[in-house]
Amino acid sequence: MIAIAKPYLTADEAQYAYDTILSGWVTQGPKVQEFEEKFAAYTGAKYAVALSNCTTALHLAMIVAGVKAGDEVICPSMSYVATANSIKYVGATPVFAEVDEHFNLDIEDVKKKITLNTKAILLVHQIGMPADIDAFKLLCEQQGLKLIEDAACAAGSAYKGKRIGSHSELVCFSFHPRKVITTGDGGMITTNNEDYYKRIKLLRQHAMSVNDRERHAANKIIFEDHLEIGYNYRMTDIQASVGIKQLEKLDSIVAERRKIAERYNAAFSDLKGVSVQKEEEGYFTNYQSYTLLFTNEAKLTRNAFMEKMLEQGVATRRGIMTAHRESAYKEECKHVSLPATNYYSDNSVVIPLFYPMKEEEIAKVIETVKALLA
């Protein structure tokens, strides 16, 4: 069976984690700081704050952006459910807008959904493909809205020649094993805004006025204060040491993923009724996932294709989910109409792409897809 995805972890990461465990400092400490400095430098952002995962990163982004109960935040329904949930955590309402053929927010539909209650736009770079950040930044400036980027899948992707993470004030990343690099679980916020940076650092550690490193380094007794109601959203030093090693490899992992994707693109470009994701000028994707989009001219329906692939020993997954049709949202969304979102979600499929993928595995995926759809 060819898996849909696999994390690329080797003895290098194990060694880094081993060394950290034996160092005696295992939760947030010097390795977290080192990972943050290296991640900020990598993305070109001024600051980075490591967190327990991207969902908690999104939650803190909502708080520092000032999103509160009664506010509305526009986001895609076609995303992992954590996108919408992060808006709910602060008592605000996710307002779902349509996506385009790149699976990213459709700005014309977003404009139609802005109301007096809109506070922010949560822009997702879906499966690593950057959204048009400049267009959304301009819209937010014009409308007095905050922009938050859900870059969970987009570490190593770039937009207009600059890596994701440096374009706006709140960019949230994930290091879940299904993403391009992993720390087991983990997240990061990058920002150029010093006030956001300081507040996120406080909130992730119970809003404690003194952190463990400062206390450890001090030569006198310090009593901490808790400045507001905070959270425990820390990353551990064990995770961070794995992240440091993964980050060193990120560009080469992305390059290898792109080579596989290019072979898929070439092999599948003239299949009837099936299209591959197009990368426009100025957009650089890390191919966190590789998708095929079906029309009714395809030889098989999407679901029949998935069944046949499974029979042939090749894993597939349905396209990106929609939040508005999940049980948790169904009732409040019963009047929500998102035909494009439903179409893209119901007619797309993810096929295996990971690194390192064996030559036989790449060849088998290509042959199997072509045999079924050509």
> By C-beta, is 84 or 274 nearer to ligand PLP?
84
Active-site position among 31, 119, 146, 179: 179
Query: For residues 190 and 16, what is the distance between their CA atoms, to the nearest angstrom?
Result: 24
> By C-beta, is 189 or 373 nearer to ligand PLP?
189
Binding flag, residue 153, ligand PLP (CB under 6 A):
yes
What is the residue-wise DSSP string for 320-353? --BSTTSHHHHTTTTT---HHHHHHHHTEEEE--
In which residue are the tokens 């989910």 written?
A: 321
> By C-beta, is 257 or 267 nearer to ligand PLP?
257
Binding flag, residue 345, ligand PLP (CB under 6 A):
no
**Residue 57 burial by Cβ neighbours in a 10 Å radius (0-12, 13-18, 19+):** buried
Chain centroid to Cα 333, Å, comes to 24
Binding flag, residue 156, ligand PLP (CB under 6 A):
no
Residue 176 identity (one-letter amino acid):
H
Query: For residues 328 and 272, what is the distance between their CA atoms, to the nearest angstrom?
Result: 37
Binding flag, residue 54, ligand PLP (CB under 6 A):
yes
Beta strand 171-174 pairing with 146-150 = parallel
Binding flag, residue 72, ligand PLP (CB under 6 A):
no
Query: For residues 369 and 277, what is the distance between their CA atoms, to the nearest angstrom?
Result: 16
- Binding to ligand PLP by CB under 6 A, coded x per residue (else -) over 74-93, reads -----xx-xx----------
Q: How far is the CB of 127 from ligand PLP (least distance, A)?
A: 8
Binding flag, residue 53, ligand PLP (CB under 6 A):
yes
Q: How far is the CB of 157 from ligand PLP (least distance, A)?
A: 12
Q: How far is the CB of 152 from ligand PLP (least distance, A)?
A: 3
Binders of ligand PLP in range 175-234 (CB under 6 A):
176, 187
Binding flag, residue 257, ligand PLP (CB under 6 A):
no
348 bridge partner residues: 293
> By C-beta, is 54 or 120 nearer to ligand PLP?
54
CB 166 within 8 A of CB 185: no
Binding flag, residue 106, ligand PLP (CB under 6 A):
no
Query: For residues 42 and 60, what is the distance between their CA atoms, to the nearest angstrom?
Result: 22
> By C-beta, is 4 or 366 nearer to ligand PLP?
4
Query: For residues 66 and 51, what is the distance between their CA atoms, to the nearest angstrom?
Result: 19
Binding flag, residue 174, ligand PLP (CB under 6 A):
yes
**Residue 337 burial by Cβ neighbours in a 10 Å radius (0-12, 13-18, 19+):** exposed
CB 200 within 8 A of CB 17: no
What is the residue-wise DSSP string for 5-23? ------HHHHHHHHHHHHH
Binding flag, residue 239, ligand PLP (CB under 6 A):
no
Binding flag, residue 102, ligand PLP (CB under 6 A):
no
Binding flag, residue 157, ligand PLP (CB under 6 A):
no
How many amino acids of this chain bind ligand PLP (CB under 6 A)?
14
Answer for which of 62, 124, 147, 274 binds ligand PLP (CB under 6 A) is: 124
Query: For residues 147 and 120, what is the distance between their CA atoms, to the nearest angstrom?
Result: 6
Q: How far is the CB of 246 from ligand PLP (least distance, A)?
A: 14
Binding flag, residue 107, ligand PLP (CB under 6 A):
no
Residue 164: closest CA among 297, 259, 272, 254 = 254
Residue 285 DSSP SS3 = coil
Of the ranges 149-157, 161-169, 235-243, 365-373, which one interacts with ligand PLP (CB under 6 A)?
149-157
Backbone angles phi, psi at 72, to 5 degrees: -115, 145
Residue 179 appears among annotated catalytic residues: yes
Binding flag, residue 152, ligand PLP (CB under 6 A):
yes
Binding flag, residue 7, ligand PLP (CB under 6 A):
no
> By C-beta, is 28 or 83 nearer to ligand PLP?
83
Give CA torsion, residues 292, 152, 313, 372, to 10 deg.
0
> By C-beta, is 146 or 372 nearer to ligand PLP?
146
> Which stretches of the chain bind ligand PLP, using CB under 6 A?
53-55, 79-80, 82-83, 124, 150, 152-153, 174, 176, 187
Residues with active-site annotation: 179
